[in-house]
Structure 1
Amino acid sequence: MKVLLLGCGNVGANVARQLVPRHPELEYVVGDLDLAAAEKLAAELGSRVRGVRADVLDPTRLDELLDGVDLVFNAVGPFYRSAVPVIEAALRARVDYIDINDDHDVAEQLFLDPSWHVRALEAGIKLVIGCGSTPGLTNVMARMLVDRMDKAREIHLATAVPFVPGLLSPAVVDHMMHITAGEVVQFVDGEYRKMPGWGGRLEVPYAAPFKAYPSFFIGHGETVTLPHFIKGLDQVTNRIAFFPEDGSQVWRSLIDLGLGNPEVIESLGISPLKFLTHHLASEAGVRSVSVDLSDEPWAVASRVEVVGERDGAEVRCVLEHHLDLPTEQAEDSTADPTPTCARLVIEAWLAGGVTGTGLLAPEVCLDAEAYVRAFARETGGRLIESETVLKRDLYA
């Protein structure tokens, strides 16, 4: 069996570093636009791995790479540029596809147009979109809570992360501006609506050692796929907080200054966004926007809240996942839990545990309880569950 892993950046390389030693029986191809990076990673991982140059915007090259492949995993960002071209190639080659897409507009394009699902069914393949930490783990956490109810009406997702400019690579800044600087999709009153990114301020409470943080709308795939696959929902929202609050205020100011604009300024030959991505990666940029984290946890938190009905009562269930950040960054580690999330989905696929055919998302094709427990066990993360009865005898 042959697996094609596209993208040798931080996430893609760490997926390969986790996957290859666990499954040495497979044949692997790792591809990147930077051939040297692909070959270096392949040499590190051993003789079962071959490094190649991969331009995801070149259909002919993609067709060559997918020939004879059983699965393609896409970690090439930003996904608003890369996802659809690789999906088109997977459809042509009739090859199963998994990615970590975290751009809302890609999810809209795919899931709100039924032709993509039809084409995948006709090809007899699985297209599994958004298998990272958020979206991905968060979707499955939501499904885990929904499955415990008779009927779910609302799902509210939130993430809290420390504002550390030095950890924001140019690719991350590009992505974060893409999902916060314009309009983003939320599911409100039973329909998809465009809402202002970094709007919808809400104080979201987290369990200790976290606190309540002002949180703001972001554009992620969860607000598209969860109501698509879980019928009867009225609300699905997704928010993020940088902490302390000063970090969120810095981000708000960058948006308001227009630094998320991708249009090139002709006289300079560079866009405000391109400048920002490199500025925040520089020592001067880090110094200019750093905030005091001395009273905050060195960790990230994901929170999923589901409101619904069970046994005639209205209940609110909350599931949080807390994950400590590493104190030192090494080449083969990442503060982002996404590689572990993605690797677990790939392993589920290898074991026949990804159910269904067509256009899929993690919440509809994975064993929710098993996936969430496996992630927490492997990462050392903490799962914190709580439940509140809001109204008893709902039908009395």
Structure 2
Amino acid sequence: MKILLLGCGNVGANVARQLVPRHPEIECIIGDLNLANAEKLAAELGPRATPVSADIRDPARLDALLDGVDLVFNAVGPFYRSAVPVIEAALRARVDYIDINDDHDVAEALFLDPSYHQRALEAGIKLVIGCGSTPGLTNVMARMLADRLDKVREIHLATAVPFVPDLLSPAVIDHMMHITAGEVVQFVDGEYRKMPGWGGRLEVPYAAPFKAYPSFFIGHGETVTLPHFIKGLDQVTNRIAFFPEAGAEVWRSLIDLGLGNSEVIEGLGISPLKFLTHHLSSDVGRKSVTVDLSDEPWAVASRVEVVGERSGAEVRCVLEHHLDLPTEQAEDSTADPTPTCARLVIEAWLAGGVAGKGLLAPEVCLDAEAYVRAFAQETGGRLIETETVLKRDLYA
């Protein structure tokens, strides 16, 4: 079994570190634009890992790399640049594809254009998009709750993360600005609508040790794929909170100052966004946006709320996942649960547990209950479930 893994950043490298030792049947080709990074990771993983130079902008090179491969896993961010080129190569090579895409506009381009699904069906392959923590785990949490109801009307997703400058790598800043500094897709009143990123403020309550945090619209794939695969929905929203609130205010100020703009400033040769990524990577930049976290949990939380009907009653189901952050950062660990989420999807694919063909998302092709339970068990995360009957007889 041969897998091409593209991208040796934090997520890609940690997926490989988890996957290769567990599966001696796998031959893993490690591809990165920087060959030295691929060579370093391959040397760490042993003889079943082969380093190669990979440029997702070069179709001929991608075609050569996908020749004879059974699966390509794409961890090259940002996905608004990388996803479609690699998907096109997978379609040409008739090779299954999995990624961790977390950009809303990529999900729009793929799922709102029926040709991608049709081409994947004709090629006989699976294109599984958005298999990280959010989107990914959150989609499957929503499916797990939806499956317990007769009819689903609303799904509301939210994530709460501490505002920690040390966790804001250049890639994270680029991505976060991309999904908060412009218009983002939400599903409102039965249709896709563009809403202002970092708008739609709502106090979202979390179970202890978290509390209620002001949360704001972000652009992620869930608001595109969940209405696509779960029919009859009226609302799907997705919000994020930086805590404490001072962190959210810092982020709002960066957006308002135009520092998310990617256009190069004439005469300077650098965009505001490029400046910001470098500035926040410096000691002075990190200190300038540091906030007091002493009264907050050192953890992240994901919350999925599903409202619908069961046996004639209106029911609200809520599932939260709480995950402690590591107190020390090592090269082979990450505060981001995405590598574990992605590795579990790849393992499901290896075991024949990814259902269907064509263009897919985790909520339609995985065993929802098994996936969520496996993730919580492996990460030590806490699952908190609540259910409230909002109205006992909808038809009285």
TM-score bucket (shorter structure): over 0.9
* 1:393 shift after superposition: 1.2
1:364 corresponds to which residue?
A: 364
Task: List gaps (5 residues or longer) in structure 1.
Answer: none
The code of the aligned residue for 2:246 comes to D
Task: List gaps (5 residues or longer) in structure 2.
Answer: none
1:349 corresponds to which residue?
A: 349
* 1:172 shift after superposition: 0.4
User: 2:208 & 2:24 partners in 1: Cα distance?
Assistant: 41
Structural RMSD (CA):
0.4
User: 2:331 & 2:24 partners in 1: Cα distance?
Assistant: 21
1:110 corresponds to which residue?
A: 110
1:256 corresponds to which residue?
A: 256
Residue pairs, 1:30-109, within 5 angstroms: 30-109=30-109
User: 1:190 & 1:78 partners in 2: Cα distance?
Assistant: 29
2:289 corresponds to which residue?
A: 289
User: 1:279 & 1:313 partners in 2: Cα distance?
Assistant: 53
User: 1:280 & 1:134 partners in 2: Cα distance?
Assistant: 24
Structure 1 residue runs of 4 or more that deviate by more than 6 Å after TM superposition: none
The code of the aligned residue for 1:352 comes to G
2:242 corresponds to which residue?
A: 242
The code of the aligned residue for 1:105 comes to D
The code of the aligned residue for 2:378 comes to E
Residue pairs, 1:163-312, within 5 angstroms: 163-312=163-312
The code of the aligned residue for 1:368 comes to A
1:149 corresponds to which residue?
A: 149
Residue deviations 1:271-330 (CA, integer Å, cap 9, x gap): 000010111111111100000000000000000000000011001000000000000000
The code of the aligned residue for 2:252 comes to R
User: 2:114 & 2:25 partners in 1: Cα distance?
Assistant: 37
User: 2:96 & 2:285 partners in 1: Cα distance?
Assistant: 41
User: 2:8 & 2:45 partners in 1: Cα distance?
Assistant: 12
The code of the aligned residue for 1:387 comes to E
Residue pairs, 1:369-388, within 5 angstroms: 369-388=369-388
Provide TM-score, normalisation by structure 2.
1.00
The code of the aligned residue for 1:370 comes to A
The code of the aligned residue for 1:351 comes to A
280-289 vs 13-22, which moves further: 280-289
1:126 corresponds to which residue?
A: 126
User: 1:393 & 1:107 partners in 2: Cα distance?
Assistant: 37
Secondary structure of 1:339's aligned partner = helix
User: 2:287 & 2:69 partners in 1: Cα distance?
Assistant: 46
2:4 corresponds to which residue?
A: 4
The code of the aligned residue for 1:202 comes to L
User: 2:185 & 2:230 partners in 1: Cα distance?
Assistant: 17
Secondary structure of 2:180's aligned partner = coil
Identity %: 90
User: 2:267 & 2:156 partners in 1: Cα distance?
Assistant: 44
User: 2:26 & 2:362 partners in 1: Cα distance?
Assistant: 23
Residue deviations 1:29-85 (CA, integer Å, cap 9, x gap): 000000000000000000010011100111000000000000000000000000000
2:331 corresponds to which residue?
A: 331
The code of the aligned residue for 2:114 comes to P
1:24 corresponds to which residue?
A: 24
The code of the aligned residue for 1:284 comes to V
* 1:101 shift after superposition: 0.1
Secondary structure of 1:356's aligned partner = coil
Secondary structure of 1:24's aligned partner = coil
User: 1:232 & 1:63 partners in 2: Cα distance?
Assistant: 40
User: 1:146 & 1:328 partners in 2: Cα distance?
Assistant: 37
* 1:152 shift after superposition: 0.4
* 1:395 shift after superposition: 2.2
